[in-house]
Amino acid sequence: MTRPTVLVYHGDPRYAELVRVPKGRAVLRAAATPSEAAEAVGEAEILYAWKFPPQLYAKAERLKWLQAMGAGVDWAIVPELPPGVILTRAPGVFGLWMAEYVIGWCSWVTQRVETYREAQRQRRWLDHVLPDRLLGKTLAIVGLGDIGRDVARAARAFGMRVLGVSRRGRLVREAERVYPVGQMARALRQADFVVILLPLTQETHGIIGADAFAAMKPTAWLVNIARGAVVNEAALLGALEQRRIAGAILDVFATEPLPPHHPLWRMDNVVITPHISGPSTPEEITPVFNDNLARYLAGRPLRHVVDRKQGY
């Protein structure tokens, strides 16, 4: 029996170094650039990759399985990916990172960090200004997958009231109430913070638009840690400019890196971070692949298989 070839595609060589092939039952190859991948992809039965160049799938005649090095697979669900290829993702890795991001930045708002730091620079003792608190605030989480539920648990530990929005509105124990996506406005109306954690699919593209911002309180903050294109950017810019909402903490953008002349950069009610809220590290992601690789080679079903029609 010929041994399947595993192609690891990433600029960081540690992804390939950490792959464990059980008893030499597969051939391991690594590609750091699109041209190196073009050389190797014809042999590959298994691809372990992030943002694989779609034009190379045409050469991937033997490809049977693509393991994404991350949670979101919008980049992988492209018409070029042959229909028979199984696509798996890497859940369970990012939730605690992103929960800290959310609590950290919500606290940045409630602890009025900017105000006290500015007063410090001016050597002013600002004791007539008090911080606000997370306790009792309402957090609406739009998208209640494994990451959303980790964020919910962290928020509850600080005494926040957690509402959820999901496709079907199925209740999860981490949230006080879950609304189906068609009733999102009911959750948004109550929220002090709205965290976006939806996968980017045809259905969710631009789903956070003018209606969503109209439903939010003028004191509420948007936190987008999903994908930029889930939010309608023109509607967001309008809502921020008109102070329809208090502000936005944005980790993801329709175009990344955010272009230097983009109006979001200069808005004082916007925080911009460079898609780092849930960092991918080879040490955390590769064990998910290794587990699936052992399953694949043993002929057992893979975990975390994506429903390509559904988009996640």
Instruction: Name the minimum Å distance from CB 189 to ligand GLV.
Output: 29
Among 142, 101, 110, 108, smallest CA distance to 219 is for 110
Q: Which stretch binds ligand GLV (CB under 6 A): 69-77, 79-87, 134-142, 177-185?
A: 69-77
Contacts to ligand GLV from residues 266-305, by CB under 6 A: 278, 280
**What would the two tokens of residue 1 be?**
């029996």
Per annotation, catalytic residue among 39, 256, 283, 300: 256
Indicate if 227 belongs to the active site. Answer: yes
Return left, alpha or beta for 29; rule: phi > 0 is left, psi -120 to 50 is alpha, else beta.
Answer: beta
Q: Which position's Cβ is nearest ligand GLV?
A: 70
Of 70, 143, 164, 247, the one binding ligand GLV (CB under 6 A) is 70
Give the nearer residue to ligand GLV in terms of CB position, either 91 or 238: 91
Burial 196-215 (b: 16+ CB within 10 A, else e): bbbbbbeebbebbbeebbeb
DSSP 8-state code for residue 162: E
- Residue 307: exposed, middle, or buried by beta-carbon count in 10 A (0-12, 13-18, 19+)? exposed
**Which CB, 18 or 185, lies closer to ligand GLV?**
18
Contact 258, 36 (CB under 8 A): no
Cβ-in-10-Å burial (0-12, 13-18, 19+) of 124 comes to: exposed
232 binds ligand GLV (CB under 6 A): no
The secondary structure element, H or E, covering residue 202 is: none
Task: Check residue 88 for interaction with ligand GLV (CB under 6 A).
Answer: no
Q: Which is nearer to ligand GLV, 4 or 72 (CB)?
A: 72
Residue 4 makes contact with ligand GLV by CB under 6 A? no
Q: How far is the CB of 86 from ligand GLV (least distance, A)?
A: 18
Among 4, 72, 143, 282, binds ligand GLV (CB under 6 A): 72
Q: Which of 49, 71, 198, 207 binds ligand GLV (CB under 6 A)?
A: 71
Query: Dihedral (C-alpha) 118, 121, 125, 127: value to the nearest 10 degrees?
Result: 20
102 binds ligand GLV (CB under 6 A): no
The secondary structure of residue 69, as a DSSP letter, is S
What secondary structure letter does DSSP report for 85?
-
247 touching ligand GLV, by CB under 6 A: no
Stretch that binds ligand GLV, among 64-72, 206-214, 255-263, 288-296 (CB under 6 A): 64-72
> ∠ CA 289-252-223 to the nearest 5 degrees?
110
The residue from 149, 227, 233, 304 that is catalytic is 227
Shortest distance in whole angstroms from residue 280 CB to ligand GLV: 6
Q: Is 203 a catalytic site residue? A: no
Q: Name the active-site residue from 275, 295, 303, 308.
A: 275
Q: Is 128 a catalytic residue?
A: no
* CA proximity to 256, closest of 72, 47, 8, 41: 72
- Residues making contact with ligand GLV (CB under 6 A): 70-72, 278, 280
Catalytic residues: 227, 256, 275
